[in-house]
Amino acid sequence: MATKTFKKYEKSGLGLHDFLKPLDQIDWELYENILCGWVPSHFDDGKTGQAGECHHSEDGVWYYDTVMTVGDKYYYLGLMPSMEPSVYYTYQAEEFRRND
């Protein structure tokens, strides 16, 4: 499958979620645009990162556009729950209390 590029994205006129599907290979420019194009990233451990703005939330879980690097390649992983540990563990604690 061909690498999806930022230039092709701009020319397409599509929204990000119509242009990209999970596991699409993307170029560095599109990777950077997703990760920190408008606001600083929400999460970035050097291999996996999440866009700075939450896309939506469900049942107290925030979902973010998520990207990843593997060697010298970049991938769009799709919308994933927050990977920030404090957010994840806070959600888990609330679930535990609710089900207790």
Of 69, 72, 12, the closest CA to residue 35 belongs to 69
33 located within any domain: yes
Of 81, 85, 78, the closest CA to residue 60 belongs to 81
Parent domain of 86: 6-99
pTM value? Answer: 0.80
Digit-coded pLDDT (tens) for 55-93: 999 988 889 999 999 999 999 999 999 887 665 545 444
Digit-coded pLDDT (tens) for 25-57: 999 999 999 998 878 888 888 899 999 888 999
36 located within any domain: yes
1 located within any domain: no
Number of domains present in the structure of the chain: 1
47 located within any domain: yes
Q: Kindly indicate the confidence band of residue 100, based on its pLDDT and cuts at 50, 70 and 90.
A: very low
